[in-house]
Structure 1
Amino acid sequence: MRILLWHVHGSWTTAFVQGAHEYLVPVLPGRPADGRGRARTWDWPGSVRELDPRELRRALDTEGVDAVLLQRPHEAGLLHEWTGYRAGRDVPAVYLEHDAPGGPAAATRHPLADVGVVADGRVPIVHVTRFNALMWDTGSARTAVIEHGVPDPGHRYTGERERVAAVVNEPVRRWRAAGTDVLLHVAREVPAEVYGMGTELLAEHLSPLGPTAAGAAGRLYDLPQSELHARLAGARAYLHPYRWTSLGLALLEAMALGLPVLALPVTAAYAAVPPEAGVLSADPDELAAVARRWLADPAEAATYGKAAREHVLAHYSLDVFLDRWTTLLTQEVSREDRHDL
């Protein structure tokens, strides 16, 4: 199949483009959010082609495209503006929703729920967790769930550093949703490393926390994904402090590396982290206490980490993920053939 999608979520797209298809990815000068093109910090296969809007129009006119994978509400407008094609009418389309609803938890209407091509069943909305599907109000739109798939990075865990690692993008701006206050609470008790975009803004919040968190500027990192795994593997444990989020791929990737997990028992964490793989608790003091125990007992931490890796490989298989997406997209193309749009 030939699939058009925007490069929106780097880790998710890295998994998706491992399939046996051809992928067209828009690119714009300066590589802004609507035209990032191919990843520059991760090795994508040669089956991913980046095209500017003019090249994209030419490709759709001459080669065609089997399906469009939409991930943001305005992408259907970009498709029509750049190519003249209408998602769900001129070309089969699927809308992938990466996130849990950000407004009232059980009453947020999905932005595409009332859009004609979605509401009349032409464009299904695909969620990445069953929790997200439960919480979004998608009206009469067709919905499906395809859970994440994680490329196996190998069992790289060493746990050599007596520190807890966390990956949180923009931890200051996303304060409560990202659980940044929980992260700081744990960092008062045990040494912590924080990875992600915008982590430098945490320095002023970490420095007053005392000797455990002192010198935190040396433990704040914004690394490309290709370097991140190597760093994470050396930490003793992984902290997932999020209060409200979709299931973070960074969490699954850390588990695949072999790290034991500390997390809040919210959203989809209950499904991703079974008891043998880590500890879920709504009490930050308990998370800090377990972190201290693991820092003092590397063998126990490694045992939890081994179970975490086994769980991810069994439940978030890349092959299963790719097969499910191929099946869904093939069904949408077949459905297009059966209906006169």
Structure 2
Amino acid sequence: MRVLLWHVHGSWTTAFVQGGHEYLVPVLPGRPADGRGRARTWDWPASVHELTPDGLRRAFDEGGVDAVLLQRPHEARLLRAWTGRRAGHDVPAVYLEHDAPGGPAAATRHPMADADVVAGGRVPVVHVTGFNALMWDTGRARTVVIDHGVPDPGPRWTGERAHVAAVVNEPVRRWRAAGTDVLLHVASRVPAEVYGMGTEHLAEHLGTRGPTAAATAGRLYDLPQAALHDRLAGARAYLHPYRWTSLGLALLEAMALGLPVLALPVTEAYAAVPPSAGVLSTDPDELAAVARRWLADPAEAAAYGKAAREHVLTRYPLDVFLDRWTTLLDQEVSAWARA
């Protein structure tokens, strides 16, 4: 089938477009958030096609779009403005929620819970973790959980650098939720390297945390995904400092590379990181102590990393992820045709 989706979450979309369908991604001049088109830092398959809004309208007029995957509330409005079609009425649609709720967790109403087509049962809300599905109030909307799928990057861990690596986008703006204070605490005790958008703003904060943290200020990077994987594989261990987040794909990708994990025991971390694959603790001092032990003992780090890789490829296999999405889209297209 031909599926329209916006390029919102690069790593998730990279996994999704490995399926056996055609994928239409909107593109706009300058490639802003509503029209990023194909990824330019990752090799997506030839089955992913960029279309302008006019091209999308023509595709719909010619009957060449089977389903729409929405990921942000305003995309339903974009769909109608660009193509004249209403999600769930004129074309089968699914709404994918990537995130945990950002407000009062147990009481946050999902933005699609009261949308007419969602509440009417025509557009299911898909969550990427069971925790997210539990915490969002989606009202009468149908909900489905489809866990992440991770493309296998191969067992690339070398651990040659006695550093702990972390991937955190916008760590200063997202301070508490991203666990940036936890990251700084660990970085003040063991050498660290940090990757992600906006990491340069960490430099001034690292400079106030002593010489070990100050040295980390020289190891702040914003790399494309392929280069990030190459670089991460050389770090001894991976730190996932988030207090409140959906299950980060960067964590799963690091595990697939073979990195052992240090993380807080929150949200979906319990399912992603079993005891054989790393250490979960609410005590940043314990995380730093384990990191120091692994930096001194590469063999122990390698054993945890091997288990991390085995677990993530078993728990989040790409083929199962793709099969579940194909089944859901087939069901929605068939139900829409019968309506």
TM-score of the aligned structures, taking structure 2 as reference length: 0.99
Q: Which moved more, 1:55-64 or 1:35-44?
A: 55-64
Q: Match for 2:245: what amino acid?
A: T
What residue in structure 2 maps to residue 310 of structure 1? Answer: 310
Query: Sequence identity, in percent?
Result: 85
Shift of 1:216: 2.8
What residue in structure 2 maps to residue 125 of structure 1? Answer: 125
What residue in structure 2 maps to residue 243 of structure 1? Answer: 243
Structure 2: how far apart are the matches of 1:220 and 1:252? 21
What residue in structure 1 maps to residue 323 of structure 2? Answer: 323
Instruction: Determine whether 1:108 maps to 2:108.
Output: yes
Once superposed, what is the RMSD of the aligned Cα atoms? 0.6
What residue in structure 2 maps to residue 277 of structure 1? Answer: 277
Q: Match for 1:181: what amino acid?
A: D
The answer as to whether partners of 2:150 and 2:253 remain within 8 angstroms in 1 is yes
What residue in structure 2 maps to residue 98 of structure 1? Answer: 98
Shift of 1:272: 0.3
What residue in structure 2 maps to residue 166 of structure 1? Answer: 166
What residue in structure 2 maps to residue 136 of structure 1? Answer: 136
Structure 2: how far apart are the matches of 1:114 and 1:243? 28
What residue in structure 1 maps to residue 47 of structure 2? Answer: 47
Structure 2: how far apart are the matches of 1:285 and 1:217? 21
What residue in structure 2 maps to residue 67 of structure 1? Answer: 67
SS at 1:213 equivalent: helix
Shift of 1:185: 0.2
SS at 1:205 equivalent: helix
Shift of 1:134: 0.2
The answer as to whether partners of 2:187 and 2:216 remain within 8 angstroms in 1 is no
SS at 2:320 equivalent: helix
The answer as to whether partners of 2:73 and 2:111 remain within 8 angstroms in 1 is yes
Q: Which runs of 4 or more aligned residues in structure 1 lie more than 6 Å from their structure 2 counterparts after TM superposition? A: none
Q: Match for 1:69: what amino acid?
A: L
Q: Match for 2:57: what amino acid?
A: R
Shift of 1:209: 1.4
SS at 1:122 equivalent: coil
Q: Match for 2:64: what amino acid?
A: G
Structure 1: how far apart are the matches of 2:124 and 2:63? 24
- The number of equivalent residue pairs is 339
Q: Match for 2:227: what amino acid?
A: E
What residue in structure 2 maps to residue 2 of structure 1? Answer: 2
Shift of 1:321: 0.3
1:80-123 Cα deviation digits (max 9, x unpaired): 00000000000000000000000001000000000100001000
Structure 1: how far apart are the matches of 2:123 and 2:6? 17
Shift of 1:190: 0.1
1:123-166 Cα deviation digits (max 9, x unpaired): 00000000000000001100000000000000000001000000
The answer as to whether partners of 2:171 and 2:180 remain within 8 angstroms in 1 is yes
Structure 1: how far apart are the matches of 2:214 and 2:168? 19
- The answer for unaligned runs of 5 or more in structure 1 is none
Q: Match for 2:199: what amino acid?
A: T
Structure 2: how far apart are the matches of 1:188 and 1:104? 32
What residue in structure 1 maps to residue 77 of structure 2? Answer: 77
Q: Match for 1:169: what amino acid?
A: N
